[in-house]
Amino acid sequence: MVNSKISIGMPVYNGEKFVRNALDSILSQTYRDFELIISDNASTDSTSLICQEYARKDTRIRYVRQNKNMGSIWNLYFVLQESKYKYFMWAAVDDYWLNTFIEKNVKVLESDETIIGSISDVKLYREFTDEGKPKINELSKKNEFLYVDSTSGSFEERIKKYLRFFQASIIYGVYRTEVLKKSSISDNFWANDFAIVLNTLKYGNLYVVNEVLMYRYVPDWPSKSLIQYQLKAKIPIIKIIFLEMPFTIWFVKNFGWRMFIKNFHIFVKLNIRGEYVVLSETIRIIKRIIFRQDKFW
């Protein structure tokens, strides 16, 4: 049925390490009625060649290359705005989906109008096997932390639950397209993806299929830089220094003082944690500069 088709949006920048595996896992989905919109944010590696190769082989793929890097948030929204079908999912280039992921999540949405977004349980991985699948190593075996959760109850109860949960991986589920478009946020700040998740809760519930059908890539974060990551995402420096404050201000503007006061203690913890993270990394950068290390990130 045409109305049940799904648009898949893949924003990518320099994804040559992952893009073949991601495309293969999407194209092997048992749910066949989809369009795949790839927006290449002016990659400088072989991403463009790989994507064009796949687009020539499958007419469901539409490849768009941006003239310059517009930032990750802009690219995220570009593929959403280009979508034209009833359902939509963002596909991160370094994620991997088992072949029934889309089918089972669309089935959930088709069966219950009160559910606006659905995802499966999620596990993490750091490397692929020779066959191009996530390696089930110690990271994924011991990955018992909850990365996605369902919601129910009143709007206030849903908001409170997800504020406490504060995980945004569910944004990579399958959604009703109109809900995601109404929930979009043009402002660029840390936790923008989590703000989108909160916005979707205005329209209904989120659901989690009780089965691991999705693997999310996690880099070796101790060797990475949060500050550098945000600079590459074109987030202004003032919003990086006060990491959680832009999200806090956004919440007050969109949900009101009453909801903010009810959850005030959560925002106090978030902002303290955010400043601790930024300060800790700033100290590490200063030490590396003092000791003249080549890579102070």
pLDDT digits (tens, 9 = 90+) for 75-132: 999 999 999 999 999 999 999 999 999 999 999 999 999 999 999 999 988 887 777 6
Instruction: State pLDDT tens for residues 183-203.
Output: 998 788 888 999 999 999 999
Domain of 87 in residue numbering reads as 2-218
DSSP 237: H
Q: Residue with structure tokens 């101790």?
A: 222
Residue 210 lies in a domain: yes
The residue ranking higher by pLDDT, 115 or 292, is 115
The answer to whether residues 226 and 180 belong to one domain is no
Q: Please determine, for residue 2, whether its predicted confidence score (pLDDT) is greater than 50.
A: no
The residue ranking higher by pLDDT, 152 or 260, is 260
The answer to whether residues 172 and 284 belong to one domain is no
CATH number at residue 22: 3.90.550.10
Distances (CA, A) of 51 to 39, 62, 77, 96, 101: 10, 9, 19, 16, 22
Domain count, the chain: 2
Number of H-type helices and E-type strands within the chain: 12, 8
* Domain C-terminal end among 192, 218, 244: 218
Predicted model pTM: 0.88
Integer-rounded Cα Rg, in Å, for the chain is 19
